Each structure stands twice: as C-alpha cells, then as structure tokens.
Amino acid sequence: MPDQKTMRAIGVKNGKGPATSLYIDNIPIPSLTPTQALVKIKAFGLNRMDLLQREGHYPLPPQAPETLGVEFSGTITALGSAKDQDKTEDFKIGDEVFGLAYGGAYAEYIAVATGMLIHKPAELSWEEAAGIPETWITATQALFLVGGFARGQSVLWHAGASSVSICGIQLAREAGAKEIFVTAGSEEKIKFCVEELGATAGFNYRTQDWCEELLGATGGRGVDVIVDYIGAGYFQDNLKAAAVDGRIVNLAFMGGVRVEGGVDISPFLRKRLRYEGSTLRSRDEGYQRKLRDMMVENALPRLRDGTFKVFVERVFAFEDVIEAHQLMESNQTKGKIICTI
C-alpha cells in the first residue's frame, strides 16, 4: 500500500459542466474489497462516455465511483485479502497490468476487480495498453457476442474512425470477413479506414447517401452485421442496409433517440432482422470478465505481434486533461486520446 492516504484525481467543479470545469482534486485513496487490486496508474484512456458523464448525462452504475475513467494501465501496489487463488487469479504486487473498471481511472490510484485486469505485455507501451480495454472489449462484444459474426460474413461499422470501430475493423478482417464497410465524415477518415485498417470501402455520410452506396456495392444484398452508434438518425437506413437474417447492434445515440416520420418496420419480418442494444459499463463483473477473456484470446496475441495496432491520436499530461477533453469533443481524431501520470 502507498504511504500516503490521499491521491490526486480529476474532479468536476459543481459535479457537472464543460471541459473547463475539470480540475485536479485531492481525494482518499480507495480501499480494497477482498477480490480487488490497487493499481498505481501510469496512463488512462479517454472515452466518449467520459464527456457525457462530465456533462451529467451518463447514469452511473451503483458500483462506480464519481471519478471519471474506465480504462488504464499501471502497476499493482496492493491486493485484497482473498485467500482463494481463483478470486485474485495469478496477480501479485509489482505486476504491470492494464484493465477495465467501472470508474475512477482519472487518478493516481484505482481499486479494480482482479477479474478485469490483464498482464501488460512488454511489447506494448503504457500508453498503448491504456487505450485497449474499453475499445477492444466493446468491439469484441459488438462483433462476436451480440452481432454473432461468423467467417465469410460482411460487416458495416458506422463512425469508422472511432476508437471502437478501429478495433472492430481489425477484428473483422482477421476473423475472415468477406467485406468490411465503414461510414465516416471525411475523406481523410475513409482513406485511413481503407488503407491503414483494411476496410473494403467507406462512404462519406456528409456527401453521399451511404445506404444507397452500400446497397450498390453489395449488389443489393446488404450486410450481415451493422454496428451502430447513431441510433434514431440511422434507424430506417440500417433496416434497409441489413441483409436477410442481419443483425444490427446499437451502442449509442449520437443521432438522437426519437425516430420521426413514417418509419417502415417491415424489414424486421421480411428480412428476419435482429436489432439489439448493448452496454458494457452497466454489466456485472461476471459478464465483463467473460468479455475480457474473449478479448485476451482473440486480440491480445495479435496486439503483441503487431498484427493488430493500437492507434493513439495524442498523449496528454495528467494536468492537461481539459485540452484532452476538448480534442475529443472536436470529433477530429482517429484513434485513442491518452493521459499519462
């Protein structure tokens, strides 16, 4: 355990507000339950949910601390009192790890279940490791667990240059996707998805009718799995773009939550579609641990050998977290934003 009883952490003035409301606070170092480890954080990743939480628009699960942040890398400095090896797995004090938490990563220390920790490979930097857990686990969940993807099928990743889709494109490519399509808001992002990540083609939603373009590219068939963050704004076109027996996985509502107008829901029956929403942070530790194990099996070996890449857009110092949030709000990034302590 550290000698001191308090630590630096990023707080939000008045509990919610714009990026400029972030500040460095001094709060107690968290105590441990028997199945947790205390990790001294080296780096943490930013996610869009952090912006929503900062603004007061993200309902926290009951086990989450108020401090922002769900993914991190660092070194174990203490373990809970569990005697059962199955409860603390194979972790020990001094291990270099990265992992997923319900919250609390914007700080010098974090208490986290050992079931959500992963041993950090020497091949990965602290910054790369901190950018893996939330995005790679979410992409694994969306593609395989919810989307039911199988080799030879086709996939559409909306927001193709977002961190989750960057992971998902790589996962789908390695898992034998027949075709991988993306939507994005600039030609630069589409080029990145195709040339850097291996997507088949991309459609600029600002200048193209992405749905018609995708149907044209697939000979009218559509795609087997659609991973969507837009919600209401793409609801009708997602139904139209899905293939027979297609699955649409909804992860966010960036395009609103209310579908307006005369929406045609007949594709649900005509094409036997499945439209399913999913979350990660609100899930119990058993579910999250299952996903951690899937990610370790499917992605970690390829992250170690360089087949998969962690794209880090920019690294900020802990003290520059306001600027980091402002960059994420700009929607100009292609990959992870990381803060280091």
Q: Residue 151 CB: number of other CB atoms within 10 A?
A: 8
Residue 276: CB partners within 8 Å, gap ≥ 6? 146, 247, 248, 249, 250
Using DSSP's 3-state secondary structure scheme, residue 14 falls into: helix
Can you list the residues of the chain whose pLDDT is less than 50? 85-86
Domain regions of the chain by residue span: 6-132+310-340, 136-277
Q: How many residues does the chain have?
A: 341
Side chain identity at 336, as an amino acid letter? K
Side chain identity at 128, as an amino acid letter? E
- CATH T-level assignment (fold) for domain 136-277: Rossmann fold (3.40.50)
DSSP class of residue 231 equals: G
CATH 2.40.37.10 fits 6-132+310-340, yes or no: no
CA distance 12 to 191: 37
CA dihedral (172, 73, 97, 8) positive or negative: negative
CB 328, CB 51: distance < 8 Å: yes
CB 76, CB 93: distance < 8 Å: yes
Tell me what pLDDT residue 87 has: 52
Q: What tokens does 339 get?
A: 């803060």
**Which tens digit of pLDDT belongs to each residue from 101-144?**
999 999 999 999 999 999 999 999 999 999 999 999 999 999 99
Query: How far apart are the two ends of the chain, measured CA to CA in Å?
Result: 18
**Which tens digit of pLDDT belongs to each residue from 29-60?**
999 999 999 999 999 999 999 999 999 998 88
Tell me what pLDDT residue 329 has: 95
Instruction: Name 25's bridge partners.
Output: 9
- Tell me, rounded to whole angstroms, the distance of Cα 81 from its chain centroid: 31
